[in-house]
Amino acid sequence: ATTEFPRTKNFPPWIGGLREEDERMSNETEAALLAEGDLVADYLEELLDIADLDGDIENSVQDGRAHIVVDTDSELLVGKDGEVLDALQELARLVVMTETGHRSRLMLDVAGYRERRRAELVALAKDAIAEVKETGEQVRMAPLNAYERKIVHDEVAAAGLVSESEGEPPNRRVVVRAQ
């Protein structure tokens, strides 16, 4: 007698890959996120024209979010400590909310600022991790925004240490300590 096994598409994702409906949902979600990015790209294109700035706009999906990058040599849309970029990102999210009726978690980067800042934050987190491991004492970092704290928390967790946020914005900071 021959035993028939279910085809791969019927197995749970952790056994045989994505089921067809999961794959369809994933494709629909990615398409929706790309559509969000297209809305924002159109808005940013108009803004660049009005401000008479040169720049190329790229739209992709990363980590389950629309990710829009404005490749430009101008730091005008970044501002001091990324303040203009943060405001521009909120405006971009409002564009999506106005057009679609739902909140967006899109990420906007201009002139590679967020990428550079991420590298700085990872380096700062690694310094704090090394200090905690060396001294056994907790380390309080400088105040960071929510996105920056998340990057630090992820790095600390990957190193096997514990971190928590303390204080109130804009003075909220990460505290790193041993388990």
pLDDT in tens, 127-152: 999 999 999 999 999 999 999 999 99
Distance CA 38, CA 138 (A): 44
Q: Smallest Cα–Cα separation from 153: which of 131, 130, 170, 176?
A: 176
Answer yes or no: are the C-beta atoms of 96 and 106 closer than 8 Å: yes
pLDDT-derived band at 9 (thresholds 50, 70, 90) equals: very low
**Token reading at 92:** 């971009």
- Burial label, 96 (beta-carbon count in 10 A; 0-12, 13-18, 19+): buried
pLDDT band at 24; cut points 50, 70, 90: low
* pTM (global) more than 0.95: no
